[in-house]
Structure 1
Amino acid sequence: MAFRVVALIFSVILATLAIHILGQLTRKPRYIEEQVKFRKNWPGERVHDVVRHRPPNSFYRIRYTDAPHAVRSYPDAPQGYPAADLTLTVDARGYRNLTSFEQYDIVTVGDSFTEGSRVSDDEPWPVLLGKKLNRNVYNLGISGGRPDYYLNVFRAFGLDLRPKIAIFMIYEGNDFKGIRLKKGSTSPEQPLGKRIEEAIKYSPVVMGFKTAFIKYLGPINAGGPVPGVEILSWMPVEVPSGPDAKYYAFRPRRLTRLYWTECEFRQSFGWTSAAKVFKMIKDICDREGIRLVFAYAPSKPHVVMPLAKENISPEYLYAFASLKRRGLPMPKEFKKKLYDRLGSQENVLRE
């Protein structure tokens, strides 16, 4: 009997692995990471950079629905904008560009804000900037990017385009998480546990089960009450109040990431590790005679919270932030400190 149970478990594991491998082989990846070599000095040792891009020469049609994540959790979620049909065109290098020239006046580097998340091909800000200035602009933005990727992709592709100006967009929301680099490399080595975690998370088997659960189990009691929903009664945030209002939703962690004093942030690993990469970018641009511009993209709560300050209860704000962070001061004190600290990260970068 025990042998049969063990054999059954072993068979299930083998079948699951086979499905996982088959799914990985047949699924077209959204992003590709590959290693490139770059010689820092001549003569000198080569460093191994990892660049991230989409499958080259790809084209996507996407329908975007304007609704917050976990929309059911919001007691009074308003109707969003109508669904929009978007196009996303990828060039031979794997980046979002409709043109192909040997030289560009401006190269832009960043994450999804630069690539153009949830907008069509003619709407990313690098495209609009090119039209505004009547300049050729090449977009090296890629969703999920971070400062070390910005440096790597600029060295691998940006320098060959001989730009006069390089614009690096830094996103406040997640560009200061921290980067641990091995000596002699600008690409962090991902721990084995993290690689296993991501392999499981994005496994076709796991994603298949997740989709099935959402589709078939999600509707059960979907109209029922949600415990503690009053914490979200002020979300999505209404700006301005009244008939012309627009609505903005964000997760608690987006808010708590702004709860730094300037001194705390300046000493944090997230800032010090990113600052090292920013200095490397500056050194390259100085050496190549490229004008460097850092464009700062504040997170959604950084922009929205000051506009809705008088309409947000300290108690609800405290309860919302406490979903992600413990040990906060009392509600009124927390609200005051939060608003005092909203610009800490931006101020440190400006220095």
Structure 2
Amino acid sequence: MAQHQVNKTIKEINDRIRKGKGVVVNAEEMVEIVRKEGKVNAAREVDVVTTGTFSPMCSSGLLINIGQQPPVMKVSRMWLNNVPCYSGLAAVDAYLGCTEPSEDDPLNKVHPGRFAYGGGHVMEDLLRGKAVHLRAEGYGTDCYPRTELEKDITLADLPNAVMLNPRNCYQNYNCAVNLTSRTIYTYMGPLKSNCSNANYATSGQLSPLFNDPYYRTIGMGTRIFLGGGIGYVIGEGTQHVHKPQRNEKGIPENPSGTLMLKGDFKQMKARYVRAQSIIGYGPSLALGVGIPIPMLNEDMAEFTGVSDSDITMPVKDYGYDYPNGIPRELGRATFEDLKSGTITVNGKETSTVPLTSYSMSLEVADELKKWIENGDFLLTEKVDDITSI
């Protein structure tokens, strides 16, 4: 293995940040720097590259503790604004999933075209300072005699509120089309008949896991931007693929890596934690995540020089194939082509529709960049690896 011409440590980079000398660029800016300067000079010149994504992340939720009031209670069932929470935890702990629909919402029956209120909306309401209605039931014990509780609460009333997300930041994903003769409603949004639109996600060259494809710097303990506050990577996410198929640049060619994340919900901002109602699918949550990539050597500079034209995504049919568990690959599209507005699928020009906001993803990367430049955010060493090969 060739020796690196550039070798930095996270401690050295943090020292430069503390002194106000750290050079920080976003991942979009890094593409041009690597192209013009080469990976070695880029690694020398830049200390940190900030990444960002703002996209629907359905596997997200809120772990709360509602506190006790006499007589005390062991909650067995809980609702916030009539959205069920999972309460099979300690006495007054509960978990609210962002895709859980309200029990009295029409879209609980998944009718296309109707608004769906769910867990993601409760989360955004709390961040906006709104009161939400808490209703809880317990079966009553000698140590926990209360059996009912009902009141309005705000985020400030909760002793603990932790965003805890089992699966975020997919490393690549499908581009979804529909080959059937009717419109279908999916978690990738509505897909019109006869391949009339192609819906895609991820922020391309800004996306965190495209900029560290082998998890050289991202792992358990990595400090991140999460929902406008500080969060952490706590390991690989659910559905993480350990040995993805990669192209010559090391970029996975199919949905692969995922991250499990946590952060203090009370630090977060509603601008970066947005409830969604996906027509015919139900409630979800768009979330802003930004991860700093330290320029330890020229390998990291090369990885963060990835451009939209380097990234290809599989085009798959969600009409016939996906529901039956056999999603054939109809072709591939570069992220650059997807951003252009049209791609060709089966010989047909098809309009592309982003589920990820590139402008908001760039804002996340730039906000994290600002935090680092101001000395408000230091990088952390990972304490355990995420398997990638």
* Shared fold per TM-score greater than 0.5: no
- TM-score tier, shorter chain, comes to under 0.3
* TM-score normalised by L of structure 2: 0.22
Q: Which has the higher contact order (CA 8 A, sep 6+)?
A: 2
Bigger helix share: 1
Structure with greater strand share of residues: 2
